Amino acid sequence: MEELEMEGKKAAAVFITSPTYHGICSNLSKISELCHSRKIPLIVDEAHGAHFGFHSKLPKSALQQGADLVVQSTHKVLCSLTQSSMLHMSGNIVDKEKICRCLRTLQTTSPSFLLLASLDAARAQLSENPDIAFNQAIALADEAKCVLKQIPGYEADEILYKDEEVIGELVGNTCITYVLNLGTCREHVERLLLGIKRLAETYGSIEQAEKKVVNVDAPFDDIMMSLIPRDAFFAGKRKVAIRESIGEVAGELICPYPPGVPVLIPGEVITEKIVDYLLHVRSKGAEINGASDSSLSSIVVCRKL
């Protein structure tokens, strides 16, 4: 914001994601103070923090820390149905009438009343004694954290799913993130921990040399765009072997899942680092979304003009 002000500009808003998938929270109180001193609204994606503020062992919610607009995925940790979410507004910086007009423009006139009812049920569940409601989930999470150690990512996720019917929320190269919510019971956690113990017994003797050598968790900070996505979308295409695509311009979106973050978008220059990453996560069991060839034997690139 200070850099923009030095250029004679002003930020329209500040957008923060807090918490992250792994539970890392930003200092929203300080950020909101900084924003409000400049009359700039603070917008927070609190998708994984709908439960914040309801228990003494949980962080304060974004609203409690002064955020102006907060989006919560109520279904992730609370007990509403999948796809149901809430948008919260607070303070006087944001024009509430304008927000309502935008919602009326974007939202359907035929909403799912099952989803709406589930949101109200989730609200009602926490309207009385929220501390008690979260006691078991927090206790189970603490217990699981004491037992879990570093485990392989994609392979472990597949094994735990097939053998123990345990589904991870987010899978990385060296970690799996599990989400415990109000519906989690002891049997679920015991099944997870049993699966982890079996994993350690079965795979604990694997030599260090067999461990992953590619740091796939490192962010890509050298992205090069040759075309804007629109021009790349409408450009002529051809399919080439993935190793032959290095230096070409991507003609399709490629998004390993999980976590579902695009690695290539149309118009981006394909580098050796990107190819190594994609082949590595594919070999470890990640699903490749968006690609015309999910096996990544080939890739679609833009024809040269």
The per-residue pLDDT for range 59-69, each reduced to its tens digit, is: 999 999 999 99
Same domain? For 148 and 254 the reply is: no
β-bridge partners, 140? none
| Confidence at residue 148, expressed as pLDDT on a 0 to 100 scale | 59
Token representation of residue 33: 């103070």
Of the two residues 171 and 8, the one the predictor is more confident about is 8
Domain membership of residue 221 (yes or no) is no
14 and 101 share one domain = yes
Tokens of 126: 């926490």
Residue 179 belongs to a domain: yes
- pLDDT at position 13 is 96
Residue 217 in domain: no
Q: Is residue 259 part of a domain?
A: yes
**Same structural domain for residues 77 and 181?**
no
The CATH code of the domain that includes 90 is 3.40.640.10
Q: In the beta sheet, which residues pair with residue 69?
A: 43, 89
pLDDT in the model for residue 84: 96
pLDDT, one tens digit per residue, over 252-297 is 999 987 667 899 999 999 999 999 999 988 887 788 988 999 999 9
Residue 262 sits in a domain whose CATH number is 3.90.100.10
- Cα–Cα distance between 295 and 242 in angstroms, integer? 10
Domain-located, residue 223:
no
Q: Which residues fall within 8 angstroms of residue 176, CB to CB, at 6 or more apart?
A: 151, 153, 156, 157, 160, 168, 170
Per-residue pLDDT tens digits for 226-239: 999 999 999 999 99
Question: For 151-163, how does the pLDDT look when each residue is reduced to its tens digit (9 = 90+)?
Answer: 556 777 777 888 8
Strands 255-257 and 237-241 come out as unpaired
Asked if 7 and 109 sit in the same domain, the reply is: yes
Residue 214 predicted with pLDDT over 60: no
* CA–CA gap between residue 50 and residue 72 (Å, rounded): 5
Q: With respect to residue 107, please indicate whether it lies within any of the assigned structural domains.
A: yes
As a whole number of angstroms, the longest Cα–Cα distance in the chain is 65
User: Is residue 68, in this structure, part of any structural domain at all?
Assistant: yes
CB-count exposure of residue 25 (10 Å: 0-12, 13-18, 19+): middle
Mean pLDDT of 207-211: 43
Sign of CA dihedral 237, 243, 248, 250: positive
Do 261 and 147 share a structural domain? no
At residue 246's C-alpha, the angle toward residues 242 and 250, to 5°, is 75
And the tokens for 69?
Answer: 């607009």
Buried b (16+ CB within 10 A) or exposed e, 149-169: eebbbbebbbbbeeebebebe
Specify whether the CB–CB gap between 153 and 51 falls below 8 A. no
pLDDT for position 208: 43
Please give the Cα distance from 25 to 162 (Å, whole number).
32
pLDDT at 7 over 50: yes
pLDDT band of residue 248 (cuts 50, 70, 90) is very high
13 and 104 part of one domain: yes
- Determine contact, residues 263/277, Cβ cutoff 8 Å: yes
Q: Per the structure block, which two tokens stand in for 2?
A: 């200070």
Residues 71 and 148 in one domain: no
* Domain region containing 185: 130-210
- My answer on whether 143 and 197 are in the same domain is yes
pLDDT band for position 85 (cuts 50, 70, 90): very high
Are 116 and 135 part of one and the same domain? no
Give CA–CA dist 137/186, Å, rounded: 9
User: 256 and 285 in contact (C-beta within 8 Å)?
Assistant: no
**Strand-pair category, 237-241 with 14-17:** unpaired
Express each pLDDT in 21-56 by its tens digit.
Answer: 888 999 999 999 999 999 999 999 999 999 999 999
pLDDT value for 137? 84
Cβ(94)–Cβ(41) below 8 Å: yes
In a shared domain, residues 205 and 281: no
Domain count, the chain: 3
- Residues 163, 277 share a domain: no
Closest CA to 27 of 66, 54, 53: 66
Region at 175 (left for phi over 0; alpha for psi -120 to 50; beta for the rest): beta
Asked if the structure places residue 35 within a domain, the reply is yes
What letter does residue 285 receive in the DSSP assignment?
T
